[in-house]
Amino acid sequence: MSDKVSVSLTINGAEHALTVAPERTLLDVLREDVRATGTRRGCDEGSCGACTVLVDGVPVLSCLSLAVTLPGRAITTIEGVRNGAELHPVQRALVLHGAVQCGFCMPGIVLSAKALLERNPSPTVEDVRQALGGNVCRCSGYTRVVEAIASLGGRP
């Protein structure tokens, strides 16, 4: 293992001064050092999307990102999405549409959808499908997930 280095990460608006080995992924650091366990580990190779976070508003696979490469970048995890007790509209829609089953994919899907809505406030069903292309859900068949998110766009 390599020598640890100091890095300051901005996670959900808060500065975290961390000492980490350079080969450690953002996913490991989030789950183990920061204890932000809402970011899920599904495959460790960028195939499932469960570990999706936002870096400067763009969806990123935290299992393929090295923590030490991200100082000064705005990292948003699922813990930073809701506003106090109030759910983000994506979260509310997923709950109300009955889209949630085991829930393991949900943090990644919420973040992919949040990024989509920030760049395109009225996405079509096809826009939503494209935006979720990297998020595997093994339970829902995607039908209600896409319906829920597309309902926020108000377009077919």
Partner 1 sequence: MSSHAKPGPIPEPVGEVLGQSVPKPDAREKVTGRAVYTDDLRVPGMLHGALLGSPHPHARILSYDTSRARALPGVRAVLTAEDLPPNDIGAVIKDQPLLARGKVRYAGEPVAAVAAVDLPTARRALELIDIRYEVLPAVFDAEEALRPDAPGIHAPRGTAHPNAASYIRLVEGEPDPAWAQCDVIIEDVYETPAQQHIYLEPCSTLAEVDPDSGKITLHTSTQTAFRVQAITAEALGVPMSRVRVLVPRVGGAFGGKVESTNQPITAALALAAGAPVRLTFSRTDDIRMMRSRHAARIHMRTGATRDGRILARQVRIHFDTGAYADDGPFVANIGSYFARGPYRIPHVDVECWCVYTNKLRAGAFRGFGNPQIHFASEVQVDRVAEAIGMDPIELRLRNALETGEKWLGGAPVESGTLRACLERAREVSDWHRRRERPPAAPGKRRGIGVAAVSHVSGLLGSSATVRLNEDGTVTVNTGAVDTGQGSDVALAQVAAGALGLSLEQLNFSRPDTDTSPYDWCSGGTRTTFTVGRVITQACEQVREQLFEHASAILQRPVRQLELRPGGFVGVRGEPGASVSFGAIAGRALYVEGGPIIASARYLFPAWQLDTRRTQVEGLPFMGNGFFVFAAQVAEVEVDELTGHVEVLEAWSVHDVGRAINPAATEGQVQGGFVQGLGYALTEELVWKDGHLVNPTMGGYKVPGVLDVPAAIHAVLLEHPFGPGPFGAKGIGEVGLVGVAPAICNAIRHATGANVRRIPATGERVLRALMAREEGGAKASDA
Q: Does 138 bind partner 1 (CB under 8 A)?
A: yes
Contact stretch for partner 1 (CB under 8 A) within 10-18, 54-62, 66-74, 132-140: 132-140
Structure token digits, residue 69? 């490469």
Q: Does 12 sit near partner 1 (CB under 8 A)?
A: no
**Taking Cα atoms as reference points, which of 104, 103, 87 lies closest to residue 152?**
87
Contact call for residue 65 and partner 1 (CB under 8 A): no
- Distance of closest approach, residue 113 Cβ to partner 1, in angstroms: 10
Q: Of 20, 68, 99, 115, which lies in the binding site for partner 1, with binding defined by CB under 8 A? A: 99
Q: Is 120 in the site for partner 1 (CB under 8 A)?
A: no
Q: Which of 39, 52, 62, 76 binds partner 1 (CB under 8 A)?
A: 39
